[in-house]
Structure 1
Amino acid sequence: MCTSCNCGTEATDTTDTAQPVAIGTAPASYTVTGMTCGHCVASVTEEVTAIEGVRDVVVDLSTGKLTFESDKPVPHDTVEAAVREAGYALA
């Protein structure tokens, strides 16, 4: 069972929820620690998507990689706070 978010899914559930990133742009990239299931990924995706100007959020469960595009620079502290709100941390 997932112990990160206590959602009750199997921790081996690695359902790929990745979306393609727009071609010709340089996405921001971070590593998120502590995720163990698709629900964890959804929580991080939801919080980061809520940041003003952020779009095309992709969270890869197997690598912990978080990438996104944005209309303007997004401070590291803002991303860190969103990930923390979801219950996780940046590496």
Structure 2
Amino acid sequence: MQTAILKVEGMSCGHCVNSVEGAVKKLGATGKVDLNAGLVTLEYEESKVSLDEIKEAIEEQGYDIKN
């Protein structure tokens, strides 16, 4: 299991949390959003999904990844 922390801009409410966490979950990974810090902590299996795929799914929800 891999872990990663992404700095994500544009998240400001519960809907944002649900959008990001839902998009990550659809890929078979787990994501925990910290709105105050603007961070998403991820856990994923590299053999099933790549970090780039997860980043793309988050960006498709309308958020900007800064790292």
Shared fold (TM-score, shorter chain, > 0.5): yes
Structure number with higher helix proportion: 2
TM-score class normalised by the smaller sequence: 0.7 to 0.9
Which consecutive residues of structure 2, in runs of 5 or more, have no partner in the other structure? none
Instruction: Tell me, in whole angstroms, the C-alpha distance in 1 between the residues paired with 2:10 and 2:38.
Output: 8
Higher Rg of the two aligned structures: 1
Q: Out of 5, 24, 38, which is 1:48 matched to?
A: 24
TM-score (norm 2): 0.78
Which consecutive residues of structure 1, in runs of 5 or more, have no partner in the other structure? 1-24
Q: 1:78 to 1:62 in 2, by over 3 A?
A: same
SS of 1:59's equivalent in the other structure is strand
Alignment of 1:40-79 (within 5 A): 40-52=16-28, 54-55=29-30, 57-72=31-46, 74-79=49-54
Q: CA offsets, 1:6-55, max 9 Å, x none?
A: xxxxxxxxxxxxxxxxxxx7621111111111111110110011113x13
Identical counterparts, % of pairs:
37
Equivalent residue letter for 1:78: E
Structure number with higher strand proportion: 2
TM-score (norm 1): 0.61
Structure showing greater relative contact order (alpha-carbon pairs closer than 8 Å, 6 or more residues apart): 2
- Equivalent pairs counted in the alignment come to 65
Instruction: Tell me, in whole angstroms, the C-alpha distance in 2 between the residues paired with 1:81 and 1:36.
Output: 19
RMSD, aligned α-carbons: 1.9
Equivalent residue letter for 2:17: V
